[in-house]
Chains A and B, each alone.
Chain A
């Protein structure tokens, strides 16, 4: 029989990993629930996930084409930026609110505390994969050549996942103690979006203070890989990979440890 002894616990970050592995089937069920609940009652179902970024992209291209005329592959540029950004911003926002739903359960039964945050990020990743379909469509009709570098996109996705999960864990920890952070976060996201090269061309940011906005922006390191692989069709330099990996896994490790250390006190607060 299994024995639980509160006097003999491992480091919370390790304990959480082990417990998450035991509950792996739960993660799958939670992701499934998110997707089914999202698509079941809508007429167009999965199509919305593909149409939404496409529609936003169209608006942005029409608007900003006048501001920045003559940008190369502007539609594909905007769309790659948008779907990465949507994955990050939506998953982190939803993860924060998932803690509220989860708190009802945390008070009643034992669960790995990271389960809800992790499953939210994974569901967002599934949506990201779906939105690769309209991207492919735009690449083809705007005649952007598909080059072999595209096979490395899964590695970019792992980094995007790690980065989003790390940020989501940090934010969720804060939200448990201060729920109003969830109200403030959309404002931060809007500012962050315009400070990142998502809609406006990279050149625009390079000209501001020698590109400082890019170097201090952790999201840029991750997203830049996506454009290098898909639009520029080059195999990024090892240093580029290293920088992106350090940023995303650094955020993940910090977020994981902070979250797990505070997780014991969640049941006292939420």
Chain B
């Protein structure tokens, strides 16, 4: 059970996790239909196997810090991000976040093929929680950044996947977040556009945004982060200076 620890978020804290655990209930047999459920319940044969995707995570990220999260696939990185971005309410523990978080939206997930570029900007931005007025204010900038001025009135289904990704990125980063989550999204578009993305991200970090970098590559973390954690099997293996965490992680991979 969750027992609040003595620690509390400080004045300069941006992300605070206290004993956060997430447990997925995986039925031992995959019961997907109501019919099956009724039959199995009558037979008294439903068993759940608990699976802890995260176990007793404590994190305290300061404002303006660049924080790395390392780990292999399935280590619990995405679950951790979901907990931080309010998508998942933890099974146990406390999540405390100060400020607006950049979205994790997979590029284009909220788009509709029949709507025009402009209509999709409005749809996507309101999905991210922005008001109509906020969108109108930034509209020109979003269109400019996405580099699709000429096609902005055409339906989205006529766009190439690169154009859709650019539009998605332009909307998602139009507002400066207090906490920026970088989840290996920078592989969008051509080299020129990638540079623009990097510049924009750099602008966010320079203006004091907190950054969470999620990666399975130590190079990014080493290059950019001050502190980091290495996550495996839902628990924090090592937390501390980015350099030492990277070393420990590399060692475990046998590099």
Per-residue A-contact encoding for B115-157, CB less than 8 Å = 1, 0 else = 1000100110011111110000000000000000000000100
Q: CA A268 – CA B83 in complex, angstroms?
A: 11
Residues on the B chain within 8 Å of A46, using CB: none
A6 engages B98 (CB within 8 Å): no
Across the interface, name the chain B residue whose C-beta is closest to A39: B114
Q: Which B residues between 98 and 113 are near A, CB-CB below 8 angstroms? A: 98-100, 103-106, 109-110, 112
A-B pairs with CB below 8 Å: how many?
A: 107
A4 engages B112 (CB within 8 Å): no
A1 engages B178 (CB within 8 Å): yes
A1 engages B98 (CB within 8 Å): yes
Residues on the B chain within 8 Å of A22, using CB: 129
What band does the interface of chain B fall in when counting residues whose beta carbon is under 8 Å from A? 35 or more
Residue B59 interfacial (CB < 8 Å): no
Across the interface, name the chain B residue whose C-beta is closest to A26: B126
Given contacts A110-B85, A178-B34, contact A104 B96 (CB under 8 A): no
* Segment of A30-38, A132-140, A142-150 in the binding face: A30-38
Across the interface, name the chain B residue whose C-beta is closest to A3: B98
Residue B90 interfacial (CB < 8 Å): yes
Residue B82 interfacial (CB < 8 Å): yes
Q: CA A35 – CA B86 in complex, angstroms?
A: 30
Residue A152 interfacial (CB < 8 Å): no
Residue A72 interfacial (CB < 8 Å): no
Residue A151 interfacial (CB < 8 Å): no
Residues on the A chain within 8 Å of B82, using CB: 107, 267
Residues on the B chain within 8 Å of A4, using CB: 86, 95-97
Residues on the A chain within 8 Å of B129, using CB: 22-23, 26, 110-111
Query: How near does chain A come to B131, taking the closest CB pair, in angstroms?
Result: 5
A5 engages B104 (CB within 8 Å): no
Q: CA A109 – CA B107 in complex, angstroms?
A: 12
Query: How near does chain A come to B210, taking the closest CB pair, in angstroms?
Result: 11
Residue A52 interfacial (CB < 8 Å): no
Q: Can you list 9 A-B pairs with a CB-CB distance of less than 8 A?
A: A1-B100, A7-B4, A22-B129, A30-B123, A105-B127, A107-B82, A109-B104, A110-B129, A111-B127
Interface residues of chain B, those whose CB is within 8 Å of chain A, are 4, 24-25, 32-35, 37, 82, 85-90, 93-100, 103-106, 109-110, 112, 114-115, 119, 122-123, 126-132, 155, 178
